[in-house]
Structure 1
Amino acid sequence: MPQLTLAHQRLPGVSVIAVTGEMDATNRGQLESYLRRARTHPSEGLVFDLSRVPFMDSSGLHVLLMCATDCLRNGGAVHLAAVQPLPARLFEVTGVVAHLPVYDTVDAAVSAALNS
């Protein structure tokens, strides 16, 4: 099973989840468990730093969408940052880019999360 490395940084008003590794069906449970533990303030904005995610399949995408739905339900929003080419293509083909904002940098995503 490919291992994900996950790190969480809580800033005032927004949390940043840095993901390293491939996001797929083999580690979906690991990502879901981590998000349940890390999201202690569901109404805050959430930024996913995807700069070190070279590949994502529909399972990883599903986790992001479920997290975004939960954030919206609680008054927050999900922002994606530094998306690599293969995951970016998945977001484009599936139309996710119309629903989840994507930013070139983590700083830009954090700024947007704080102003939304």
Structure 2
Amino acid sequence: MNILAQIKQQIIDNPIILYMKGTITHPQCGYSDKTAKIILTYNVKCTYINILDDDNLRKFLPKYANWPTFPQLWVNNTLIGGYDIIFHLHINNKLLDILNKNVHDI
């Protein structure tokens, strides 16, 4: 499977997915850390993928998403955005609606 097909399959298979630098326990980027902590406050099922583990993923996900930076939050096959957007949605009490709106398995 090529990398673009792999990315597409990951996004399809996981209703909520966060591509981040590092892991939940060892974030390697302040923005990834802050984004993951926000998502964790909602107690939803989320898949976290460390893009630092895969050079191809780190290289091709921005092209696939047409979004140049990490982290990237995807919900129900739709890119929500990075930390700035997630933070804005969170403080305006809109993120939970997005997380719950199209996801039936959380």
TM over 0.5: no
Higher relative CO (Cα under 8 Å, sequence separation at least 6) belongs to: 2
Please state which structure has a larger fraction of its residues in helix: 2
Please state which structure has a larger fraction of its residues in strand: 1
TM-score by length of 2: 0.32
TM-score by length of 1: 0.30
